[in-house]
Structure 1
């Protein structure tokens, strides 16, 4: 799993504004709504930059004051910005901090946006991949438009031709895949993936690898681990290029949460420590924090067990930070 050497991490995805009204509706009387900058790949890029990794972010921004401010925000975080600029608007979504991206409580307003309408031709591939050693994308980006999907595929092919590691997050958002068959598209991407993150249910949704074990819905169900190992083994049989497969498990009951993760590599399933809290503050971005820590630890050449434990701790800690991204309180070298 070690990938040494200097170089940058390229993240490709849409930059979003996250409007977070309180779920009780008090924001209307107070005339105050919290707004966060977000987006799956941006969240990963931000965490990696916090931990002093050199990061490039390839995206699209509007030609207006908002685009200028967002670009400045990224640069202030130490992120190199490659943004195709055009007239139009930034994508947005609405979700309270006690809402969940996985269900209907999220409202998307990102069609059209400068990203979904972009051709992504402003930069040539040599500029995009200059000094890059790792590329990360999510299945959210490939769901946004045919142009975005084709760009994902082209970038992944180019990365593979340059011997650059590719990671893919199997994020499934039903609201984005309406009337589309996600498995057809994602299966074309899989032969180009080296590191895969998701869970047994997203693997079933995207790769048609079924959840065969009967599950009781609890975090202590041993069948979860059996299914995680079986799904990962099936993935590697179908796509031997996938070296590492991570599964995250978050079980919520009211405000309480149980969280753990698994990592499958070298035909062995590793299981993290399980974490519990009676209350969490934020449901957005923990998976992105896990992905960032997985990339960081791999590039540092850390032992596999440490990579898994660090990523799980980071993801759990993110549940107590408002907004989409981690902040300086999560220091990966001092967990």
Structure 2
């Protein structure tokens, strides 16, 4: 079973320019990067449970019921603290955009600390643990608890994956990410991110002028060098994946990804769209596709193609988590392959 660990967040999604006030309405989504991954895996018939911290109140009870309704085992959820974290993101915006407003201070999850959770209980019947770089960004105690968790998982022989999602606005407790994240990644077998996140979080060198060239071969070569550097520095790591997402004027984007394993880099087709419905959760969907393929022991090219198509498809869905089926993703893959 896969266990996804991280903070559950409520996303309030107002219509921009005050329209949410005039309509007296604001959609609310239950999300969080790791829950998004768990939701996709459950949809794709991978046995999965979710671990987070929620308070003992009726709102949290409702949320746990929602998690269960998605086919996710909620047994990894720990109860203490006072509130559920949330954030506000205008519709159509990106989490990396300055428009995001976090309201997660003093959340139940932020009260995590070493020794506070029985990780042996959380990791029961678990063969794969998934975490992200968002959690260690919150506080020094949460970072230490994350390190404690991944070390416990690695000691049990559990496969550990991490998404190097970098949120600069969250790293506010007086340390640099490169002082924290290597101690977590050293326990990981699968690393997903991009060349810029690897630099910000792990100190892996990045070409600051690569955007000037803006050519796919240069980005792919850089992904290869970054992947090799990660594996050399972190010997447990056997798989590195990189994503590339570039905005197109005025509203579209282009997208492609890489997967490096056993000394070879595999590249997905380049995917293009002129419009995007919701950017939130696309990277989580790629991570889920990556875990799905590795968990089921698919071949590397099939894995990176599926994960990229899943992430790309998520861009056309409202909400934090995907509702795409395996068949829908596979059919789009086959259509694209036939055109190449």
The answer, yes or no, to whether TM exceeds 0.5 is yes
CA distance in 2, matches of 1:151, 1:318: 31
Q: Is 1:200 the equivalent of 2:190?
A: no
> Could you tell me which of 67, 70, 88 is aligned with 2:63?
70
| Corresponding position of 2:263 | 267
Within the candidate set 179, 186, 190, 1:191 is matched to 186
1:161 equivalent in alignment to 2:155? yes
1:146 aligns with 2:132: no
Does the aligned pair in 2 maintain the 1:50–1:327 contact within 8 Å? yes
Cα RMSD, aligned residues only: 1.7
Task: Give the aligned partner of residue 19 of structure 1.
Answer: 12
Q: CA deviation at 1:155?
A: 1.3
| 1:267-306 map, 5 Å | 267-306=263-302
Match of 1:97 in 2: 91
Secondary structure, counterpart of 2:91 in structure 1: coil
Three-state SS of the structure 1 residue aligned to 2:134 is: helix
Change in Cα spacing, 1:15 to 1:265, as seen in structure 2 (3 Å) is: same
The answer on whether the counterparts of 1:245 and 1:263 sit within 8 Å (CA) in structure 2 is: yes
User: What is aligned with 1:180?
Assistant: 175
Seen in structure 2, the aligned counterparts of structure 1 residues 237 and 60 have a Cα distance that, compared at 3 Å, is: same
Matched residue, 1:48: 41
Aligned equivalents of 1:270, 1:84: Cα separation in 2: 39
Taking a change above 3 Å as real, the CA distance of residues 49 and 122 of structure 1, as seen in their structure-2 partners, is farther
The 2-side partners of 1:166 and 1:314 are apart by: 21
Match of 1:58 in 2: 51
CA distance in 2, matches of 1:97, 1:46: 21
Structure 2 Cα separation of the partners of residues 96 and 218 of structure 1: 32
Unpaired runs of 5+ residues, structure 1, are: 1-7
Q: Does residue 1:112 correspond to 2:112, yes or no?
A: no
Aligned counterpart in structure 2 of residue 137 of structure 1, from 117, 131, 134: 131
The residue that corresponds to 1:214 in the other structure is 209
* Correspondent of 1:319 among 315, 319, 327: 315
Question: 81-90 or 122-131: which moved more?
Answer: 122-131
* d(CA) in 2 for partners of 1:313, 1:216: 24
- Structure 2: stretches of 5+ with no match in the other structure: 333-340
SS of residue matched to 2:39? helix
For residues 290 and 51 of structure 1, do their structure 2 counterparts lie closer, same or farther at Cα, with a shift above 3 Å needed? same
Residue number in structure 2 paired with 1:250: 245
Q: Which has the higher contact order (CA 8 A, sep 6+)?
A: 1
What is the aligned length?
328
CA distance in 1, matches of 2:26, 2:212: 34
Between Structure 1 and Structure 2, the one with more strand by share is 1
1:237-295 CA deviation, whole Å, 9 max, x = no partner? 11121101100111012311001101111111111100101101111100000001100
What is the CA–CA distance in structure 1 between the aligned matches of 2:116 and 2:143, rounded to whole Å?
A: 17
Higher mean C-alpha deviation, range 117-126 or range 221-230:
117-126
Report if the CA contact (8 A) 1:143-1:149 is conserved: yes
What SS is found at the alignment partner of 2:205?
coil
Q: Please tell me whether the aligned partners of residues 41 and 288 of structure 1 are also in contact (alpha carbons under 8 angstroms).
A: yes
Q: 1:121 to 1:78 in 2, by over 3 A?
A: farther
In 2, Cα distance between equivalents of 1:143 and 1:213: 24
SS at match of 1:63: coil
Contact 1:219 1:258 in 2 (8 A): no
TM normalised by structure 1 equals 0.93
Q: Indicate how the Cα distance of structure 1 residues 217 and 326 shifts in structure 2: closer, same or farther if over 3 A, else same.
A: farther
